[in-house]
Amino acid sequence: MDIKEKAKQFAIKAHKGQVRKSEPDKPMIIHPISVGMLLEEYGYDNKMIAAGFLHDVVEDTNYTLEDIEKEFGSDIADLVKGASESDKSLSWKERKQQVIDKIRKLPLRNKLVIAADKVNNLEDLMLFSQKKGKIDFSKFNAGGVEQKWFYTNLYESLIAGEDSNIPMFVRLKKVIDIVFYDNKDKFLEDLFSDNIDYYNRLISLNAQKIELQRLRALCDLSKPFVIEFCGTPRTGKTTILHNLHDFFKKGGLKVSLIEELTTSKYYKEKLYPQIKNLGIDKINICLIEETLKQLQDVINHESDIIMIDRSLNDRMIWNHRRMIENDMTEEQYQQLLTKYPAHSKELIDKYNDSTDKSMDILQGSVAEIYRLDTTNITPTESSALIAERIMRLMRSRYIDNLNEMFNK
């Protein structure tokens, strides 16, 4: 394997079982991997990327700089040394002052590895704080005033003698200003000045979305997160669905949207002319088979999220109604009920239902059910509530996958 992959696998082994200090449900290794990926994103060389993967190994595991040099050579060992604190016996302030003084004299390559480490740490803190609505340093060894002192002086040491317009330095300065100097988007803040609670909620939703994108980039999931939406007519379901599609897509996630089959152009112009003379029982079966086919086809594409306006479960609910109205025999219905919930359970992660009916069908056919009464709330509020619920579930799924990947 190349030096990058070797370093990544070494780091995964070294940090096995460790967790993030600020968010202990996350494996610690996602930070070093993210640092290496950040250096790769900015086009730096393979040794710097390898050092990004390895930068916490000496500080946080039993491996030494000698081990790193033996495995990866003196250049990578030097980059890791530059990103490591030398004397853990000193007080927090003394150690950080040593770091500030040391960094000022380091070569640019060392400084960029350190900057990538700090960018990732501070962006994680920023997103965590934006999700919660406040900055919390309780999990750290020093409070906000001390952290502000450290990061401000560290940045000055990093750019000493260097071009401060180097993109990595610009990104670090931006996140320092947001976290420690409350540098907000004044345009948006003024735009929502009459509804500051809604503004803060948008900030939280956006932070959750960015976190999802970052977690998804680390996962090796083979299937996208699949959500089926169902609701009675004129409840705002389609509007909500399109709101969510736009929200996730603008966050950089790959989103697919499957429209309702029987109102689609494809159904009206192609499928219905082929099946209209088959009889109601065979039409019902054709519709559910076509629904299954569409879902399976989209799942085979590269999407992070698939949203469906009525799918297998909704079709089964309609078939239940048809059985009650004698458009379908009970035997036919039971045959369908035996077959399709199994397909749904395999393909659909989440079901969003705005009614209280048909829970018996849904309980055995999806992983999660979320019922939302949209009678007295706007589509915007409904979209926000659903987005929050979906993102919590996706976050849990991604972190479960990462723990499985890195701690097996």
Which residues are annotated as catalytic?
Answer: 59-60
Distance CA 158, CA 137 (A): 23
355: left (phi over 0), alpha (psi -120 to 50) or beta: beta
For CA atoms 403, 405, 406, 408, the dihedral sign is positive
CA neighbours closer than 13 Å in the CB half-sphere of residue 306: 23
Strand pairing category for 368-371 and 255-258: unpaired
Distance CA 33, CA 53 (A): 5
Q: CB-based contacts of 53: which residues, under 8 Å, 6+ apart? A: 4, 7, 8, 10, 11, 32, 33, 35, 36
DSSP secondary structure letter of residue 227: E
Distance CA 311, CA 362 (A): 12
β-partners of residue 307 are 227, 257
